[in-house]
Structure 1
Amino acid sequence: MADPTLSRRHLFQASAGLAAALLPARAQAKARLGDDGLYTEDWYVDSFLDLPEDFAAARGKGRGFALQWSQRGCIYCKELHTAYFADPAIETPIREAFDIVHLDLFGAREVTFLDGARLTEKALGQRERIRATPTFQFFAEVDGKPKEVARMPGLLPRPEFSALFRYVAEGAYAREPFDAWLGKQGKG
């Protein structure tokens, strides 16, 4: 008769089996529509909207930092979250390399911006000249201060969308404009 006690090997096998069963579920995760009417991702930064603090935390982890602007009813925001981020080939490298804070273009929450200004989301969106959604603003440290180094106004086609995140993650913005960098990709 077999010994009914659990060994470490049995526990490991059970844990590995459970983890393997959960992996496909993550790849097929669905976008979440928040109570505010905005689509979001569970891996976005759960922020107190103190952006200097969020920026410092991202840098401390060796990650990029971006703001994603949305608005209620935005069909391209929905496509971003239900199609682009549903594709692990797009979502995984971004999730692994960036801390993203989600802002509402017409929101009333108070945000402390990277320069210390305290504004509502709506006022900050106006000040930053956000005209389309989704818009991503990418920030990096330049001369010891957070500075916008790239912007994606609207939803780019998938290859260019992913490429812009790579461009920022690689620090290529310090060498050349995105269009020039993109033109060199795949050549060589």
Structure 2
Amino acid sequence: MRILTALITAVVITATSYLPGIAATMGEDGLHKQPWFTITFKDMAEDIQAASEEGKRLVVIFEQRGCTYCRQMHEKLFSDPEVTDFIKEHFMVVQYNMFGDEEVIDLDGEELTEKTAARKWGYVFTPTIVFLPEEVPEDGSVSEVAVATMPGLFGKWTFLNMFRWVHEKGYEGEEHFQKYHARIYNELREEGRIDSE
């Protein structure tokens, strides 16, 4: 009986270790949703101000229906507490549909839709993650004032380190993100926390 129980336990552990991350909720627009995403009127100045009042930074994520990389971001990265806990503590995240029709008001006051905003700002990949300044800038559009942009899907440590670099205002210093990421990555390897990205 003990052997049978041990075998069943081993099979269950092995099978569950290969399951993908927890699936995100799917919205009517075909985009994966996280309960901690913030729903706003997509007025960029108001959103930057609202994030600032919470002691956070505004992040905009462009996604699209059927995007395999977006799904992987939700299932693999946003199911990892180390990633999501850091993001939720320091950032207010607003989701945009690359081909959506919801109204967007750019920082320069221009009224757009999500899809025309994506075109105006030059974002063509999904996911694209856009990091905005701490305070509402005096002039410029989103693409002109963004402090960093992450186009596409990356592994956990590149992804998380970009959020850390922005939180630490690395864009104001001399250490380029790639140098920052390499330094943090090597420190994590030396601590035995990672084998590879």
Is TM (by shorter chain) over 0.5?
yes
Number of aligned pairs?
Answer: 161
For the residue of structure 1 that corresponds to 2:119, the secondary structure is helix
Equivalent residue, structure 2, for 1:167: 165
The CA deviation string for residues 14-41 of structure 1, in whole angstroms up to 9 with x for no partner, is xxxxxxxxxxxxxx96411100000121
For the residue of structure 1 that corresponds to 2:126, the secondary structure is coil
Q: Structure 2 matches for 1:7-156, cutoff 5 A?
A: 30-141=23-134, 144-145=137-138, 147-156=145-154
Contact 2:48 2:134 in 1 (8 A): no
TM-score by length of 2: 0.76
RMSD, aligned α-carbons: 2.1
The CA deviation string for residues 109-156 of structure 1, in whole angstroms up to 9 with x for no partner, is 110122221101111101111111000000114795472000100011
- Letter in structure 1 aligned against 2:40: S
Distance 2:64 2:51 in 1: 25
Distance 1:29 1:60 in 2: 31
Task: List gaps (5 residues or longer) in structure 2.
Answer: 1-20, 188-197
Change (3 A) 1:143 1:61: closer
Q: Deviation at 1:42?
A: 1.0
For the residue of structure 2 that corresponds to 1:125, the secondary structure is helix
- Letter in structure 1 aligned against 2:90: A
Contact 2:101 2:114 in 1 (8 A): yes
TM-score by length of 1: 0.79
Change (3 A) 1:178 1:142: farther
Does residue 182 of the first structure (1) align with residue 175 of the second (2)? no
Contact 2:22 2:75 in 1 (8 A): no
Task: List gaps (5 residues or longer) in structure 1.
Answer: 1-27
Distance 2:65 2:137 in 1: 35
Distance 2:180 2:171 in 1: 9
More strand by share: 1
Change (3 A) 1:97 1:79: same
Change (3 A) 1:142 1:44: closer
Change (3 A) 1:56 1:170: same
Distance 1:115 1:68 in 2: 20
